[in-house]
Homo-oligomer: A and B are copies of this chain.
Amino acid sequence: MRKVAVLRKEHFNAAHRLHNPNISSSENVKIFGKCNNANGHGHNYDLTIRLVGEVDPKTGYVFDMKVLSDLIKEHILDRFDHKNLNLDVEEFKTLNPTAENIVITIYDILRAKIDARFELKVLLHETERNFVEYPI
């Protein structure tokens, strides 16, 4: 059977603040600049999930996009969308919500929910100009 990659793009809107509580305020400002603003700022995040697997001859699908969309909704969007990542999302209470840490966190959450026979990759756009991929 031939393997195809299928990709599904979703969105969430969230506030965040980049901050490391283990270093001084001045070092936080030096490293994170305006992203360290005490009251936070926010983004329209574009989230793309990429699965690789064999095409099922019965359905012509690698993975039902509706099922994938529902999985993303249940495990990611319902927890991240219209939230303050630092204050409302468990994982980021002790982890700085940089795009890098968000993409790894989303990967770990979804990897546990998607059968291991599918390769999984996560792409996250924080803005149109800054984005990340995991794993590489």
A contact set with B: CB distance below 8 Å: 2-11, 13-16, 18, 20, 23, 31-35, 37, 39-44, 52, 55, 58-62, 64-66, 81-84, 87-88, 95-101, 103-104, 119, 127-136
Contact = CB atoms under 8 A, between A and B. Distances in A.
Nearest to A32: B59
B82 A41 contact: yes
Given A42-B40, A55-B101, A65 B130 contact: yes
Nearest to A89: B39
A65 to B, nearest CB: 5
A81 B34 contact: yes
16 contacts: A2-B104, A4-B104, A4-B135, A5-B136, A6-B132, A8-B130, A9-B128, A11-B127, A13-B127, A33-B66, A40-B42, A41-B84, A42-B43, A44-B44, A55-B101, A60-B95
A109 to B, nearest CB: 15
Contacts of A134: 2, 4-5
A33 to B, nearest CB: 7
Given A35-B82, A44-B44, 6 more contacts: A4-B132, A5-B133, A18-B60, A34-B81, A43-B44, A60-B95
